[in-house]
Amino acid sequence: MKHILNIILLFTLLSTASGFAQSSEGEYMQVAAERVTVDDKRCYLIKKGLSRKDTTKWEPFCGEFSNFYYEEGYPYMLYVEKYDPHVDTIHVIKTIGRDSSDPYMKQKELRRKKAKRDSRKAASESPVTEPDNKEKK
């Protein structure tokens, strides 16, 4: 069921992306899940294009985004106005997606599930006095 939902989401994203591709007012960009420090500034790691197989290197962007809320821990796919590396603000036209399939997020979820399982196990192993259910005749 989860795979079917992922396929539907992918199809929706691709159809949305093809609609934007016809317009020449912007371009696609990826924003990495974690920020880096460059010269005592917290910078975003960005890459042009949408393909995960693209070998283009990530580059730091120390400016800001307008029309976009960044939450660390999630990689983003954006449709932005034409990117100029000398500009300090990138205007986001559309946030295409936030990828929660990131390995960081998967590990975080696995740790949460393990902690929950361990707490249930500890609770079940605690000594509990059982009532005497035998009927006396």
Reported as a pLDDT band with limits 50, 70 and 90, residue 21 is: very low
| The pLDDT value given to residue 126 | 67
**66 vs 129: which has the higher pLDDT:** 66
The reply to whether 135 falls in a domain is: no
For 11, residues 6+ apart whose C-beta sits below 8 A from its C-beta are none
| The pLDDT value given to residue 45 | 92
* Contact in structure between 90 and 65 (CB atoms under 8 Å): yes
The reply to whether 106 falls in a domain is: yes
Number of H helices, E strands in the chain: 2, 7
Q: Which of 14-18, 35-39, 58-62, 63-67 has the lowest mean pLDDT?
A: 14-18
Mean predicted lDDT score pLDDT of the chain: 75
CA dihedral 78, 58, 66, 39 (to 10 degrees): 170
- Could you list the residue range(s) of the whole structural domain that residue 114 is in? 24-123
- Burial readout 69-85 (b: 16 or more C-beta within 10 A, e: otherwise): eeeeebbbbbbbbebee
The reply to whether 18 falls in a domain is: no
| The pLDDT value given to residue 23 | 47
**Total number of domains constituting the chain:** 1
Residue 9, H or E segment: helix 2-21
Task: Report which of 36, 44, 118, 126 is spatially closest to residue 88, judged by C-alpha positions.
Answer: 44
* Angle subtended at Cα 83 by Cα 21 and Cα 79, rounded to the nearest 5 degrees: 40
The reply to whether 79 falls in a domain is: yes
* Contact in structure between 33 and 73 (CB atoms under 8 Å): yes
Whether the pLDDT of residue 78 is over 50: the answer is yes
| The pLDDT value given to residue 9 | 52
Share of the chain above pLDDT 90, in %: 7
pLDDT, tens only, 80-131 = 888 777 788 888 888 887 665 555 566 677 788 888 888 888 888 766 555 5
The reply to whether 32 falls in a domain is: yes
| The pLDDT value given to residue 20 | 46
Whether the pLDDT of residue 54 is over 60: the answer is yes
The reply to whether 130 falls in a domain is: no
Task: Report which of 23, 25, 72, 30 is spatially closest to residue 48, judged by C-alpha positions.
Answer: 30
